Structure 1
Amino acid sequence: MTERPGFDWIIPAPQAAQGCCDFLRETMAASGLKRVVIGLSGGIDSAVSAGLAVRALGAENVHGVYLPYRTSAPESLADAQAVAAKLGITSELREITPMADAFLADVPADAAVRRGNVMARCRMIVLYDVSARERALVLGTGNRTETLLGYATLHGDAAFALNPLGDLYKEEVRALARFLELPAAVLDKSPSADLWEGQTDEDELGYTYADADRVLHFMIDEGLGDAQLRSLGFTSALLADVRARVRAQAFKWLPVPYARVLDRPMPDDAWLARKD
């Protein structure tokens, strides 16, 4: 069997960190605000996003929020608190169980995805309220792999004001976590949205993020067809699943369509930058 390609194509961590931090500084300067609020899950993505924000904006301008549900793994909260302590940021605990359960009473217990979406949206309601209180912007944590595969909840974890990780694959986020010297527990744990007991991202997907990263890079970034991808060692089943997910989930990242009756223009960057 052909050995699958490695990760020699990923962005070096110092370069990725510089690009992400430049983006954060420029975007915050344009917003007129100084602070960001981030939901800290205890996972690698939120830890890296927070770490980059501290590097770019200073720890005093980053506020973390822990948003557990009653079925959340206890170690998730402990890991999130370890990240906040490592980064030296302020933080608070906001339990979402009461607000989520009020809605979930009408959602069947076996409707795991629906229930998970409710929890993700409850978390974002809290984050946006905290951001209003703090006069801050909500910082996103989703990476390119999750975005392309649609592994996010609209108006949940896919809702944010700015996101430093959106152009980075999961393996590039892992490299950044090592570069930022984040706690080992965060680096080593299995990725999980922690939406129900025992849930892991890779179990849900049916393959590893490492495989997803490689397929997405060569399929989308390099534009290789299936025959070329199979010659690199990827199975037809894996390629078919990834391609189907990208196509089916594109609505989550494409602009929301609306009727263009007169095709009126929206203000562009040049118009917004005008001083008159």
Structure 2
Amino acid sequence: MTEPILTDPRTLYHTEKFVKQDQDTPALQDKMEPKPDCGEESYHGSEELKDRRVLITGGDSGIGRAVAIAYAREGADIALQFFPGEEKDAEEVATYIQEAGRKVVLLPYDLREEGAGKEIVEKAVKGLGGLDTLVLNAAQQIARKKISDLPMTQVKDTFTVNIISMFETVKTAESYLPAGGAIVTTTSVQGFDPSPHLMDYAATNAAIVSFTVSLAKQFAEKGIRVNGVAPGPIWTPLQLDGGQPNEELPEFGQEALMERAGQPVELAPVYVFLASNKASYVTAQIYGITGGQAIN
């Protein structure tokens, strides 16, 4: 009898402590140690998203990068928004998309700027010839131990990037999205169980949860599904760009039930499913990928 192929989730990927490291803004995936696994070598598609036209925000590294690679290998063309200064990471992702035989449109935009959400949608539609799927994934996360140390400019920027840009992007995209289209947001376990040093970030993620469910209720009559993914501790450049107190970085993710941080590639199949026709009866849901931490 053939034995099943099983893997122990506790021993997958990086299981040791991380070395102390930080980067200037914007943090680049290429300079991380170890580099996150975004499925560059391991993800294999099966045409779940054949000829879909997708806009992904924050698609140059981390979770967005894993989603972009997976979607391209599932047959989708990709418009990729990224923060200016992250061109090196974005161009690497573009190479993977092109190697999958799919079209890519690179969109360097700072989502803190008014009108950025509108412009990326219009350029995605023009570059891809249409738009049927949104992955709203861009985020700012900067740790501050005390509210007295939290600049109001940071609070405003975090809300603008993390949630206000979603409103602008969806408002512009609504007229283009057809029945059967899908929207997938990235929220966080922080929206359900906030850490004291991530007060502004956690608040925006609670808002994204509400936004996702409200939007799903509005768009159901259009035949457009809206769902969210709530990651836990995932090894991405966000953590090195002020996202975690530097002294806590070596222990990042070790408190999870799996006793390690997650890798971006481990989220990609859920994003694929939520965009695909297989999720035809799934809307207004938040999927936790947290290594065991509850989101309910």
TM-score (norm 1): 0.43
Q: When you count helix as a share of all residues, which structure comes out higher?
A: 1
